[in-house]
Structure 1
């Protein structure tokens, strides 16, 4: 009986040793942070008028990918980590998990790549860029990110993971050729494209800044020359009579009565208006035709300079979090003699998932409009809780 009691006590201890409690706690916290942060990003874009821009719609697409990752992938991944890396569910669920994991990670990368393409067009071809509304080009970019991500991940759900001698106690991508294919399509091709596009954008912004400074210097020099020329002129002996004052009045008055303002074809006599009524003219009659091309270019370039402060940080954080995973993942698939410790693979996988929680924090720190929305949201929540 004592032996049975000892075995009964030892069994729970052995089970407890096989459970990774810190991974469970960290995983639950990570899921909560990802869901709350990315929900706030989506809510801010759809409720704040100042945030309804085409760039932020791409950011919403990225936030949706992170949300789906937190809801569909991370719970099963955290459960597997809690079981100390042992997969206790069936292989069909594992294949669904791998499909969603590959698709959502690929969608995140493709969304960042689509943002870089959109920014490149906005900076270098600003007159063809629609900042306030999503046009056909941007709709195609948004749709292509998800369609291509699904195409990259679809072989897993169609059975490419069912290799001979598969270990059902481990959930991973089993086909080494597919591991290489997915890594190249999902990471090693889009990342250099993003880097090259951002380099081109920085060069374009630098050229625009130099041209703007040169134009400003030319304007200052022209003003100085005019001042010097005016100072060298002799004083005028007599000045022409002043023009009658222009008083704004309602447009309805202008329609009822013809204007008595003298025509440019007739000479102006100041005595005519000495004791009579003061002629008026409506501002509605003054036609102002600004150079729309120049105004639009300057306005868009100014906004792109602000956006460029945030997006390179997002891309840099993504590369920092996901590069170790894809390098080790590819190396383990192609080098059969290379031993990658399971603990190291677990760490780099966690690091990749942490990126989904970093993006809302980056928007809050580097974007004033997102930061103001989050402050107002927290203020409302705190005021409701204190009532």
Structure 2
């Protein structure tokens, strides 16, 4: 969503400095395009090829990755070209308007995708019963959210392609958003409204998860007590026929998965439906002692969130934090430039915050590999096969 009016002109810098900046912008821009394209293509391929990654959260992540990928393909090459020319636009103005439209739309789509993810998480975690949250496929509500993100992003960007940039005395050597009112409007719609909503929704999501975890731990303790009673009853039933052959009842261990869950107070190890047989001593099993089994129906009655969904929940705040860190300076400077016409914003500052915003599109795939085990496995497998 850049201004693309980075005026590193001959009046601002010496000729040697301009030339050096131009080549640095070219090298950095090409490297950034390659990183963004490669990383986001891997994200899309991983969800398409890996069954373990086909979750609701990851479909939204694919939509976000697609927006970043289109940014690298459709916007950054022309932006890098303009930077290499010293901020001077030498192409057709229709192409400039197309560039501005795609820039606004793709940046807006990125933040709207993040906002849609926060809405989805809030509705199905903090509001709905967690029992109904273990979803593998996209339903109509997710399709509506995904469609809405792109339609709203297109609506925000459409005034540019419909001629709002055609102002009198337009400078053909600059490619930027010409209407200051539209700059404020697009910034408010794309950033200053969705971001606070997203932060508040995530706060509600994690409060809901915290309350759900406390309730789950209480149920777990009750289940352990019930499990012990069942174990003692099973032992008492099995021992009378074996009187005189076995010295006495041996202590019955709890299922390892319950002991581990209680000891660590974590949710990581008991999320999938489990049909766990309680381990009995060998001599008891050999004499046909009845076993206690956790049925799938009992497991499904426990309010559980799928492990992969919860791991994705850990990634998303990092993604949102990086987005805010990268794009907040740009939107603040961009809006200030439109509102305060007398303010002198140095061109290097405008260029820096613009590059920082584009860097965010390269960070998301890196974040996935660091914080998400399933993505990390797929990425490692790809690198091993290639290298």
Distance in 1 (CA, whole Å) between partners of 2:51 and 2:308 is 15
Question: Matched residue pairs, number?
Answer: 321
Contact 1:50 1:369 (C-alpha < 8 Å) held by counterparts: yes
Structure 1 unmatched runs, 5+ = 1-12, 243-279, 281-285, 383-387
Q: Which moved more, 1:209-218 or 1:140-149?
A: 209-218
1:298 is matched with which residue: 300, 304, 312? 304
TM-score (norm 2): 0.76
- Pairwise CA distance, 1:222: 6.6
Could you say what the CA RMSD is over the residues aligned between the two structures, in angstroms? 3.0
Deviations 1:251-288 (A, max 9, x none): xxxxxxxxxxxxxxxxxxxxxxxxxxxxx9xxxxx9x6
Q: Which has the larger radius of gyration?
A: 1
Contact 1:205 1:305 (C-alpha < 8 Å) held by counterparts: no
What residue in structure 2 maps to residue 110 of structure 1? 112
Distance in 2 (CA, whole Å) between partners of 1:211 and 1:80 is 57
What residue in structure 2 maps to residue 149 of structure 1? 153
TM-score (norm 1): 0.76
Deviations 1:169-220 (A, max 9, x none): 1111010000011001000111011101100011011111211222334455
Contact 1:66 1:356 (C-alpha < 8 Å) held by counterparts: yes
Distance in 2 (CA, whole Å) between partners of 1:307 and 1:25 is 34
Residues 326 and 114 from structure 1, CA distance in 2 versus in 1: closer, same or farther, beyond 3 angstroms? Answer: same
Distance in 1 (CA, whole Å) between partners of 2:368 and 2:73 is 21
1:31 is matched with which residue: 30, 33, 55? 33
Higher relative contact order (Cα pairs below 8 Å, separated by 6+ residues): 2
1:62 and 2:67 equivalent? no
Deviations 1:13-54 (A, max 9, x none): 969955710000000000000010000001111001101111
Match runs of 1:1-387 below 5 Å: 17-18=18-19, 20-124=22-126, 125=128, 126-129=130-133, 131-219=135-223, 239=240, 290-291=297-298, 294-295=301-302, 297-300=303-306, 302-382=307-387
Residues 219 and 198 from structure 1, CA distance in 2 versus in 1: closer, same or farther, beyond 3 angstroms? Answer: same
Residues 90 and 223 from structure 1, CA distance in 2 versus in 1: closer, same or farther, beyond 3 angstroms? Answer: closer
Deviations 1:121-147 (A, max 9, x none): 332323444621110000001111111
Distance in 1 (CA, whole Å) between partners of 2:66 and 2:383 is 22
Residues 222 and 293 from structure 1, CA distance in 2 versus in 1: closer, same or farther, beyond 3 angstroms? Answer: closer
Structure 1 residue matching 2:177: 3-state secondary structure: coil
Distance in 1 (CA, whole Å) between partners of 2:229 and 2:133 is 38
Deviations 1:328-378 (A, max 9, x none): 100110111111111100000000000000000000000000000011111
Distance in 1 (CA, whole Å) between partners of 2:317 and 2:199 is 9
Residues 215 and 178 from structure 1, CA distance in 2 versus in 1: closer, same or farther, beyond 3 angstroms? Answer: same
Residues 240 and 28 from structure 1, CA distance in 2 versus in 1: closer, same or farther, beyond 3 angstroms? Answer: closer
Distance in 1 (CA, whole Å) between partners of 2:344 and 2:308 is 49
Contact 2:180 2:339 (C-alpha < 8 Å) held by counterparts: yes
- Pairwise CA distance, 1:163: 1.3
Contact 1:112 1:315 (C-alpha < 8 Å) held by counterparts: yes
Deviations 1:105-130 (A, max 9, x none): 00001111111111223323234446
Structure 1 residue matching 2:386: 3-state secondary structure: helix
Contact 1:30 1:354 (C-alpha < 8 Å) held by counterparts: yes
